[in-house]
Amino acid sequence: MVEKDLIMIGIFGLIDPLRPGIKDAVAQCHKSGINVRMCTGDNLDTAIAISLEAGIITSEDLLHNEQGYLCMTGKNFREIVGGIVTKEDPVTKIKTDSVRNKRAFRDVCDKLRVLARSSPEDKYLLVTGLKDEGKVVAVTGDGTNDAPALNRADVGFAMGITGTDVAKNASDIVLIDDNFCSVLTAIKYGRNIYDSVRKFLQF
């Protein structure tokens, strides 16, 4: 039976605010040549609002989003690039995954910043495609569903507090404070080591 003659008392809303320093961390990533992309299960409107607040995209980016690749849903992204195809080497019998439509993926990945309503398969697809294009990929995650993408990435960052054991085991680095800003610290030390090794080998 459908209720009727109800009286609305009020509306209750929840918000999960960004942690302090996130916007500055994203800006520093951009200055350092790191392209930050957000993959989330939230709907597209929510994802766009959060990415604007975090500085992942700007209002100007949205104005120049003619092809609609800047912010996409996982379903749309998957349909455009054709999903994952698995190939087996006839000699070694080793199976490798790759994006079915690499040309379409190149068109999308140059502009994609926000992937909303994304499934674990969409995250894995994005990481696989970026690696196929020769990109160095780092992924952050805390859930069991993030494990395939964390494991596929060049560097996987798992959350030490809220992260599941599956996510931690699939990752290379565990952030003990669950803070995205700590990724910058890891990058700083990593680049320092890389520069030191280059100098050592050069001289």
Predicted local distance difference test score (pLDDT) of residue 124? 95
Q: Residue 86 pairs with which residues in a beta bridge? A: 97
Phi, psi angle pair for 171, to nearest 5°: -100, 165
Predicted local distance difference test score (pLDDT) of residue 152? 94
DSSP state of 171: -
Read off the pLDDT of residues 134-158 as tens digits, 9 standing for 90 and up. Answer: 999 999 999 899 999 999 999 999 9
Answer yes or no: CATH 3.40.50.1000 is held by domain 136-203.
yes
Is residue 98 helix, strand or coil? strand
Angle between helices 102-109 and 120-132 (to 10 degrees): 100
Predicted local distance difference test score (pLDDT) of residue 92? 86
Amino acid at 107: D
Per-residue 3-state assignment (H helix, E strand, C coil) for the chain? CCCCCCCCCCCCCCCCCCCCCHHHHHHHHHHCCCCCCEECCCCHHHHHHHHHHHCCCCHHHHHCCCCCCCEEEHHHHHHHHCCEEEEECCCCCCEEEEECCHHHHHHHHCCCCEEECCCHHHHHHHHHHHHHCCCCCEEEECCHHHHHHHHHCCEEEEECCCCCHHHHHHCCEEECCCCCHHHHHHHHHHHHHHHHHHHHHHC
CA 125, CA 98: separation in Å to the nearest integer?
8
CA 46, CA 15: separation in Å to the nearest integer?
11
CA 173, CA 159: separation in Å to the nearest integer?
9
Domain segments of the chain as ranges: 136-203
Predicted local distance difference test score (pLDDT) of residue 203? 60
Residue segments in the chain with a per-residue pLDDT below the cut of 50: none
